[in-house]
């Protein structure tokens, strides 16, 4: 089963060709640079940019895979959650392609995409057969932490496409907290990778920062963000801000909060598998912290498959198609939840 998959929910335009939900044949991602100037995403600008580049990127993904549209079995696109104008561009384009080529169209939940990124492996390009020893599929049940620019969700994956919510953020998403702290420290957008980079040279114990003690599995990051703001203002008043130390202290606090609840959920639900997904899962300090606490290797996509991309949508689409067998109607929903 070969799927052409499109991701346009936010500010990356991604198109990929994926076989059987696992084997990446091609995966092209174009990040929108316009948002670096505004320091954040302007939805209309993002939607227009998707519209401008999507057709070219789709051609590029097909070319790189060495396949023509009529040689794929289905077309998939993200239908939510995300920015509604952006979702509409990808979903309408995908549906149009499917219609023109007489193929089924599959609308995909972006969050399922982040989960199923854990099923992917890089393939040999140009339609070559998959490697002889592909990595095994993750075992289910699993505890999954999805941490992106818009979500921080801890879920129990009970079976394929069966998710039980355990906890979520009650205020900012983890990626949003990284982005805001980065802006405060003058590190640019997107903030997560920049914070991680400068934190490498910092002392994570330099400044004690609060960890909100919420019961259960919910998260809260706004208190941490405010504490960083106050700290930076106080340091500014005294002289120069030790950016690396602040970044490292913040990163330590947020990764400890995420890791503590993830490890506790895995223990309480007695699951062997812990999966990560979403842009913040690219953070190596977060991976290390969770691994340390669960006491065994963590299953996590390579960083370029944690941030938004088309391949993860192709992976999730395969499992939708396997479940539902045919066309899955599209209605774009900006606030779509995990099933």
Give the residues lining the site for ligand KG4 (CB under 6 A).
10, 148-150, 175, 178-179, 190-193, 196, 278-280, 282-283, 307-308
Nearest-CB residue to Zn ion?
Answer: 148
Q: C-beta of 180: minimal distance to Zn ion in Å?
A: 18
- Using the minimum distance from each CB to ligand KG4, give the nearer residue, 26 or 32: 32
Taking the least distance from each CB to ligand KG4, the nearer of 11 and 19 is 11
Q: Based on CB atoms, which residue is closest to ligand KG4, 3 or 282? A: 282
User: How many whole angstroms separate alpha carbon 260 and alpha carbon 266?
Assistant: 10
The Cα–Cα gap between 33 and 53 comes to: 13
Closer to ligand KG4 by Cβ: residue 12 or 245? 12
Report, in Å, the least distance between residue 276 CB and Zn ion.
12
Residue 191: contacted member of Zn ion, ligand KG4, none (CB under 5 to 8 Å, by partner type): ligand KG4
List contacts with Zn ion (CB under 5 A). 148, 308
280 makes contact, choosing from ligand KG4, Zn ion, none, with CB < 5 to 8 Å by partner type, with ligand KG4
Nearest distance from C-beta of residue 112 to ligand KG4, angstroms? 12
Smallest gap from residue 177 Cβ to ligand KG4 (A):
8
CB nearer to ligand KG4: pick between 150 and 330: 150
Q: What minimum distance in Å lies between the beta carbon of 248 and Zn ion?
A: 25
Q: What value, to the nearest 5°, has the Cα angle with vertex 148 and ends 331 and 173?
A: 100
User: In the complex with Zn ion, which residue's Cβ is closer, 27 or 148?
Assistant: 148
The nearest distance, CB 19 to ligand KG4, in angstroms, is: 23
With CB cut-offs between 5 and 8 Å by kind, which of Zn ion, ligand KG4, none does residue 115 bind? none
Closer Cβ to Zn ion, 49 or 308, answer by number: 308
Q: How far is the CB of 282 from Zn ion (least distance, A)?
A: 11
28 binds, among Zn ion, ligand KG4, none (CB under 5 to 8 A by kind): none
């Amino acid at each position: 089963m070969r799927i052409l998959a499109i991701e346009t929910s936010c500010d990356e335009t991604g198109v990929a060709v994926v076989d059987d939900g696992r084997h990446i044949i091609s995966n092209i991602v174009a990040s929108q640079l316009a948002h670096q100037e505004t320091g954040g995403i302007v939805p209309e600008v993002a939607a227009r940019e998707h519209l401008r580049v999507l057709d070219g990127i789709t051609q590029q993904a097909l070319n790189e895979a060495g396949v023509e549209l009529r040689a794929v079995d289905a077309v998939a696109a993200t239908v939510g959650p995300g920015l509604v104008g952006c979702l509409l561009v990808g979903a309408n384009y995908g549906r149009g392609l499917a219609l023109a080529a007489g193929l089924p169209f599959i609308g995909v939940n972006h969050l399922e995409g982040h989960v199923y990124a854990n099923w992917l492996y890089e393939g040999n390009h140009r339609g070559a057969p998959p490697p002889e020893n592909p990595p095994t599929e993750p075992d289910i049940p699993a505890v999954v932490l999805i941490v992106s620019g818009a979500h921080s969700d801890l879920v129990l994956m009970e079976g394929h496409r069966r998710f039980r919510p355990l906890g979520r953020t009650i205020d900012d998403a983890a990626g949003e907290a990284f982005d805001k702290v980065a802006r405060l420290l003058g590190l640019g957008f997107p903030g997560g990778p920049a914070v991680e980079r400068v934190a490498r040279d910092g002392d994570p114990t330099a400044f004690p920062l609060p960890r909100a003690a919420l019961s259960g599995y919910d998260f809260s990051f706004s208190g941490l963000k405010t504490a960083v703001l106050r700290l930076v203002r106080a340091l500014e008043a005294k002289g120069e801000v030790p950016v690396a130390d602040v970044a490292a202290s913040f990163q330590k606090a947020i990764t400890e909060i995420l890791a503590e609840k993830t490890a506790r959920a895995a223990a309480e639900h007695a699951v062997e598998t812990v999966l990560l997904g979403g842009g913040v899962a690219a953070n190596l300090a977060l991976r290390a912290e969770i691994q340390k606490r669960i006491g065994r290797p963590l299953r996590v996509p390579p960083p370029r498959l944690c941030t938004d991309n088309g391949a993860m949508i192709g992976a999730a689409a395969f499992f939708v198609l396997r479940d539902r067998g045919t066309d899955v109607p599209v209605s774009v929903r900006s606030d779509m939840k995990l099933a």
